[in-house]
Amino acid sequence: MRVTVIAVGRVRPPFVDDVAHYEKLLRPYVKLDVIELRDDATAEQVARRVPDRAHCVLLAIEAPARDSVAQATWLEERRASGRDLCFVIGGADGLDLDRADERVSFGPVTLPHQLARVVVLEQLYRAHRILRNEPYHH
């Protein structure tokens, strides 16, 4: 499965090391592409970067949230569908994206967009570990 993460804004310290850590941990599980767009990227510019056949997930605070086991089940369903995945993380001002197939939240708190990128990658890694019944200690 190919997973694309489109993030508005560049990742900066202290988040750079965490992003790199989870990108490395995900290598055995998925083909990961991370696309960084400028801080002022428009929804149209973001939509153009979403792979054609990918199931597009927009991070949005008002959207429903899933626990880790539900996230793993959801991931397995996406894999079975044969479609790749694309997660879209808006910048500091958020983002509305008509192209999104669904919206998901990591809870009712507002996360800095750089931290949201770390959380997306960590949750993908956690879901893969759950699906393989592997321990998670990272």
Q: Does the annotation flag 59 for ligand binding?
A: yes
Q: Residues near 63 by Cβ (< 8 Å), separated by ≥ 6?
A: 102, 103, 104, 105
Q: Does the annotation flag 90 for ligand binding?
A: yes
Angle made by CA atoms 116, 119, 122, in degrees to the nearest 5: 155
Query: Is there a contact between 111 and 119 (Cβ–Cβ < 8 Å)?
Result: yes
List the binding residues.
59, 90
List the binding residues for S-adenosyl-L-methionine.
59, 90
